[in-house]
Amino acid sequence: MKSGYLPMLAKSADGPFSGDEWLFEIKWDGVRAIASVKDELSLKSRNNHELIGRFPELTELLHLAPGTVLDGEIVVMSGGKPDIQSLLPRLHEGGKIPSRKNGPPVTYIIFDILEKDGKSLISLPLVERRKILEKSVSEGPHVIRSVPVVAQGEDYYRAAVARGLEGVMAKRMDSPYEPGRRSDTWLKIMRERTCDCVIAGYTQGKGGRGRTFGALVLGLYEKEGSRDLVPEGGRISPPGSSRQAGPWNAGLVYVGNVGTGFSDKTLGELVDVFTPLQTGIPHFVVNGHGENIVWLEPVVVAEVAFQEVTRDRKLRIPRFIRIRSDKRAEDCTTDQLGEVKGDFRLANRVNEDNYDKGGKRISEGMVQHGEAPEKTPQPGVLKRYQEKRDFLKTTEPEGTKTMTGKGNYFVIHEHHARHTHFDLRLERDGVLKSWAVPKGIPEIPGEKHLAVAVEDHPLDYGHFEGTIPAGEYGAGTVSIWDNGTYDTKLWETDKIEITFHGNRLNGHYVLVPFKRAGKNEWLVFKTGT
């Protein structure tokens, strides 16, 4: 395989869109792989590991696509959509040739061709490469070609999300293939934004997580930085380490912590991974948390979902998705976050105390004009929430003083407690305004359901899922029924009008006080507009 063929990378789009000059295809949740089909078959992951020994069924590429270099995704299909959890055990076989009994067979979905009969095709427009791909690659039991649609990106995105897929890819028809580059001619359109982050350490666990960890400490490398350049005082791998020498923290910057999205099994598995990686040397400054962090060699990568990037360049409302064993830590760079303004390293030393009452940064050179100030919770606003819970027993988030928000995230929790009910939570003024809705959110216009206002919840509750222990407030299982964003038409003490943009819930809704009942009782209903 030609060493220059690193996978081309995509930037994130702000949302779904359509356009005559764009192709749209499914974003498959699997493992990216470049296949070099010559006299022998090579199948390389993003971090240049050879995979063919783990997926021997893909040797059919030798007669389906001779003389080609291809780009595609290895997936396990289950119920008509990719199942990443079924794929990971085969990926971790360590190069052994697994029997079919050890896991389900995979499918290699091909979406690009980089070379044909020794001739490079990467400078050709995508639409021309697609024509060559269709003529050069036959389909088989484990090999298929991706089938894009033209122009209709918004409809295609909605259809993909309705099927439970994670999103779509948008690619300009005239785009060349740019190996190793993150280009705005390829865009990811996701239900949630995601980012591949370096795990720089973790915070000590409490209560039910006392034997594991509280949250992962996340970092990204500066886009302009280089791990090949060791600055004065830079650290290298410890003696006896098998890892390539290089500065552990050259250009590594802090982008936040993630403490939700973990199963009990994942927590235990990660502790086993982290134990041999512990180091006593911090990688960066984390205001207010440094003494509570167990630092790790930055070699493990986590995929994290988040709503957006805050003004001080932290991931807002993050949620752990999975470990990316197919990606190198040094490839996790800040360009995943979009345009970075100002000095990122300085931003990592800034907290909410660096803003004046007008929302402007006090530090010179850090003011970002034209942005509305983010809102933080007023002191004591989460007191009722915190007094009701024993955080040594429950895994619910305590709520952080530095969490900020812009007021457009919603989540609906399905809560299997003594009586099953649903919880509606709307982000507002740095917290989640919350209502218990016994019968769930009505989906028929005009149908009214009771909604009981409860205490405000912290923003990091927005992705909480888990079991609250027996004897604790709200004991039972909590799962996310729907989440997304909402637009505010009106927010007053006697009426709230909003429009939901969720995976399940869409449309215009109204909340009004139910005056014949108690002061905390409201009615929620969907309108026909």
Q: By three-state DSSP, how is residue 317 classified? A: coil
Structure-token pair, residue 111: 């979406």
Task: Show Cβ contacts of residue 434 under 8 Å, excluding neighbours closer than 6 positions.
Answer: 423, 424, 425, 426, 453, 454, 455, 456, 457
Q: Could you give the CA distance from residue 332 to residue 216 in angstroms, rounded to a whole number?
A: 15
Place of tokens 């041999």: 276
Other Cβ atoms closer than 10 A to 10: 19
Residues 26 and 250: their CA atoms lie apart, in Å, by 36
Q: Is 170 exposed, middle or buried (0-12, 13-18, 19+ CB in 10 A)?
A: buried
Report, as residue numbers or ranges, the catalytic residues. 27
Amino acid 445 reads: P
Contact status, residue 116 vs residue 130, Cβ threshold 8 Å:
no
Pairing of β 107-116 and β 293-296: unpaired
CA-wise closest residue to 473 among 499, 454, 489, 487: 454
Buried b (16+ CB within 10 A) or exposed e, 44-55: bbbeeeebbebb
Reference 507, options 490, 485, 529; nearest CA is 529
* Burial (0-12, 13-18, 19+ Cβ within 10 Å), 4: exposed
